[in-house]
Chain A
């Protein structure tokens, strides 16, 4: 056993209102500099939709992540020799048009325009060329465009749906969409790190945060292609790659990352997971349908004395272990099995988990009336069968969160529905106790569990949502350099000229 600690995350999609506050918080802190205007380390996309960069999930084009051939893991992008062969020309880079061309507006013109017959306008100006431009796309261009024949219908996840399911997704009155906020997953088997020829991308030992060393980065940009989530970006001004740093300076001072802290829907949870690094390869190369189970398996019980001993032997601090015991992520992912990894088939073993959104119940215009799946006939009973009558095809959710394994998402939904039915029976009283018990049985859970899920979903305190471990970075630093030297302010870019090795 090689037990390591990972600061990991849960996003409860049912609570996301698509306000983009998280993206803006991140942009204000990290990416309002020259060269990174187009980067959104946190972005919120509408699903079904094509996301940012456009069609990032389509690995036939982008070649991100891993593939397991006869159980052997290999980067989709290229072999080690391929890396050498293609080092001066990376064939799999998104163009800036696939992100979008960042812009500002000619605000000055509003003040300086000469008097005329028309109101002056502020034309858009490219932040790359400085010229006036036509806006063609943006970081959330298909926002709320569920059902769009240009965007939603090109979503890679609808590819394997039946024709009927696909029409249903786009039909008026039956259209549905939800929001998918994305940050770097700080994967356990990161494609970005594996693809980097310069050894600049690395996973921090004490907390598993994945970073790009700005002094070592040589702009080969293989990390950008290697990451299947397209969460490493190239700074055209400094010539270095940058990515979500999980606000490590905030974490080190005990605060939640900015996007977590500012989240309006309070959908975000942060906590420590312990995992067994010896099993990474085995987990990442398991057959597709078993990937989610395997990933749950690599996460270790923080109360198990054996695990604790192994962790301590590995130098995991007591504070970290304590945080792991209170981790909301552990509950959502391992205990309740509610939160699922996004696209586990990319095989990077992402450490950001999603509770899938509840599906709106299927309703139709029937005899000129808006009919919620026979609600009139059977009272509120249809709540129980809302899974069968859900608008969004389960296959779609399975494509997103369980590598196509519908059983796994079904299980999750049964639980979510059970909690709803159970709490409704208790609080509103228009559902009978039998029905509530039936729902619990279907969800394979006890009343206590339903109560706990309800509490952590609907009424969590700030401290329950964010269990930030004491990272004790100052202690870690003391071992290699003087904290007084270190004290000066950090920042982006290279403070020192990169050292040459020849």
Chain B
């Protein structure tokens, strides 16, 4: 919100020639600021101050446009960076060519004018302002699970994510397990993700239905609590047990429902008859055996 205001304010006050870089600033605060600062130090990803000097412009454009592809190709700089930053890969943000170009222009402009930029970037990652209410982990949990609805109608986190502390069945498997997410992204990273998720799968949903600031605070607290616990092996075992019990119940139900089904006909019939024949033969033998014994004596 603040970032947006800042962008509007900047755009209104700038000459037309700086349009591209200004657009880039808007994109930066919406998509990049969750993980990066310019001159504000390392967050989730590296500080982008002077990045235009460090990297070739083509490399930078491509990296912004399709980081996933470059990582998959094993591009050496990308691979090194992945190792350096906790193995958190830079996601493909689904930016258009124009957005990429304006971002590069913006980063270029900022690299040249570092000194001026100080106050702004701090604004962008400033942690959520806590209002007159107390953020509560329990409320966060209920929001996560969907027992409390998001005010703007966004789907509960559980639909796509799992996390420690929400029962054996866990949540959805579309998105990553968020148990360690807080530790990974840190307080400010998490805050900006909650404010405006930069991920391709999330932004189409949450751009229209953003979380309110209070919701963000509740969730942030819940996520930070979850970060210290972890999904224990026991809860996975619980899930397996639950699955097995369910399967047994289903099997028993079908067995009961179809207990009067046709089983094999021929083999049991033959076995029965053979047994009968065998029995009568034994009876016959015994009878004969006793008579022949008496005879031999």
Listed in ascending order, the chain A residues whose CB lies under 8 Å from chain B are 50, 53-55, 58, 61-63, 86, 89, 91-95, 97-98, 136-137, 149-150, 153-154
In the assembled complex, the Cα of A97 lies from the Cα of B267 at a distance in Å of: 8
Which 8 interchain pairs have the tightest Cβ spacing? A91-B261, A54-B266, A150-B273, A98-B265, A92-B262, A98-B266, A54-B265, A55-B265
- Is B293 interfacial (CB-CB < 8 Å)? no
- Is B269 interfacial (CB-CB < 8 Å)? yes
Interchain CB contact under 8 A, A150 and B270:
yes
| 30 A-B pairs in the complex with CB atoms less than 8 angstroms apart | A50-B266, A50-B269, A53-B265, A54-B265, A55-B265, A55-B266, A55-B269, A58-B265, A61-B262, A61-B265, A63-B262, A86-B258, A89-B254, A91-B258, A91-B261, A91-B262, A92-B261, A92-B262, A93-B262, A94-B262, A95-B264, A95-B265, A97-B264, A98-B265, A98-B266, A137-B266, A149-B273, A149-B276, A150-B270, A154-B269
In the assembled complex, the Cα of A91 lies from the Cα of B257 at a distance in Å of: 10
In the complex, per-residue mask of B273-297: 1 if CB is within 8 Å of any chain A CB, else 0: 1101100000000000000000000
Interchain CB contact under 8 A, A150 and B266:
no
> Which residues of B, 165-203, contact A by the 8 Å Cβ criterion?
none
Q: Which residues of chain A come closer than 8 Å to B270, judged between CB atoms?
A: 150
Q: How far is the CB of A135 from chain B (nearest CB, A)?
A: 13
Interchain CB contact under 8 A, A62 and B262:
yes
Residue of A nearest to B270 (CB): A150
- Which DSSP category, helix, strand, loop or mixed, fits chain A's interface? loop
Interchain CB contact under 8 A, A54 and B261:
no
Q: How far is the CB of B253 from chain A (nearest CB, A)?
A: 12
Residue of A nearest to B274 (CB): A150
In the assembled complex, the Cα of A184 lies from the Cα of B273 at a distance in Å of: 30
Interchain CB contact under 8 A, B273 and A153:
yes
User: For A58, A94, A98, A137, which residue has the most chain B Cβ atoms within 10 angstroms?
Assistant: A98
Other than the given A63-B262, A89-B258, 14 more pairs (CB < 8 A) read A50-B266, A55-B269, A58-B265, A62-B262, A89-B254, A91-B258, A92-B261, A93-B262, A94-B262, A94-B265, A97-B267, A98-B264, A98-B266, A150-B277
In the assembled complex, the Cα of A93 lies from the Cα of B262 at a distance in Å of: 7
Interchain CB contact under 8 A, B273 and A154:
yes
In the assembled complex, the Cα of A154 lies from the Cα of B273 at a distance in Å of: 8
In the assembled complex, the Cα of A58 lies from the Cα of B265 at a distance in Å of: 10
In the assembled complex, the Cα of A93 lies from the Cα of B263 at a distance in Å of: 8
In the assembled complex, the Cα of A7 lies from the Cα of B290 at a distance in Å of: 65
- Is B54 interfacial (CB-CB < 8 Å)? no
- B contact residues, total (Cβ < 8 Å): 15
In the assembled complex, the Cα of A63 lies from the Cα of B261 at a distance in Å of: 10
How many pairs of residues, A versus B, come closer than 8 Å at their CB atoms?
A: 48
Listed in ascending order, the chain B residues whose CB lies under 8 Å from chain A are 254, 258, 260-262, 264-267, 269-270, 273-274, 276-277
User: For B260, B261, B262, B266, which residue has the most chain A Cβ atoms within 10 angstroms?
Assistant: B266
Q: Which residues of chain B come closer than 8 Å to A94, judged between CB atoms?
A: 262, 265
In the assembled complex, the Cα of A58 lies from the Cα of B264 at a distance in Å of: 13
In the assembled complex, the Cα of A55 lies from the Cα of B258 at a distance in Å of: 22
Q: How far is the CB of B264 from chain A (nearest CB, A)?
A: 5
Q: How far is the CB of A75 from chain B (nearest CB, A)?
A: 15
Interchain CB contact under 8 A, A91 and B260:
yes
Q: Which residues of chain B come closer than 8 Å to A61, judged between CB atoms?
A: 262, 265
In the assembled complex, the Cα of A88 lies from the Cα of B108 at a distance in Å of: 66
Q: How far is the CB of A450 from chain B (nearest CB, A)?
A: 43
Q: Which residues of chain B come closer than 8 Å to A63, judged between CB atoms?
A: 262
User: For A53, A55, A94, A150, which residue has the most chain B Cβ atoms within 10 angstroms?
Assistant: A150
Q: How far is the CB of A312 from chain B (nearest CB, A)?
A: 46
Q: How far is the CB of B282 from chain A (nearest CB, A)?
A: 15
In the assembled complex, the Cα of A63 lies from the Cα of B269 at a distance in Å of: 18
In the assembled complex, the Cα of A153 lies from the Cα of B276 at a distance in Å of: 12
Residue of B nearest to A95 (CB): B264
In the assembled complex, the Cα of A136 lies from the Cα of B268 at a distance in Å of: 13
Q: How far is the CB of A318 from chain B (nearest CB, A)?
A: 47
Q: Which residues of chain A come closer than 8 Å to B258, judged between CB atoms?
A: 86, 89, 91
Interchain CB contact under 8 A, A54 and B260:
no
In the assembled complex, the Cα of A302 lies from the Cα of B94 at a distance in Å of: 82
Q: How far is the CB of B16 from chain A (nearest CB, A)?
A: 58
In the assembled complex, the Cα of A423 lies from the Cα of B230 at a distance in Å of: 100
In the assembled complex, the Cα of A150 lies from the Cα of B272 at a distance in Å of: 9
In the assembled complex, the Cα of A154 lies from the Cα of B276 at a distance in Å of: 12
Residue of B nearest to A99 (CB): B266
Q: Which residues of chain A come closer than 8 Å to B261, judged between CB atoms?
A: 91-92
Q: How far is the CB of B249 from chain A (nearest CB, A)?
A: 17
Q: Which residues of chain B come closer than 8 Å to A53, judged between CB atoms?
A: 265-266
Q: Which residues of chain A come closer than 8 Å to B262, judged between CB atoms?
A: 61-63, 91-94
In the assembled complex, the Cα of A95 lies from the Cα of B261 at a distance in Å of: 12
In the assembled complex, the Cα of A94 lies from the Cα of B277 at a distance in Å of: 26
**With A53-B265, A54-B265, A61-B265 known to touch, is A149 a contact of B260 (CB < 8 Å)?**
no
In the assembled complex, the Cα of A91 lies from the Cα of B277 at a distance in Å of: 31
Residue of A nearest to B272 (CB): A154
Q: Which residues of chain B come closer than 8 Å to A98, judged between CB atoms?
A: 264-266
Residue of B nearest to A153 (CB): B273
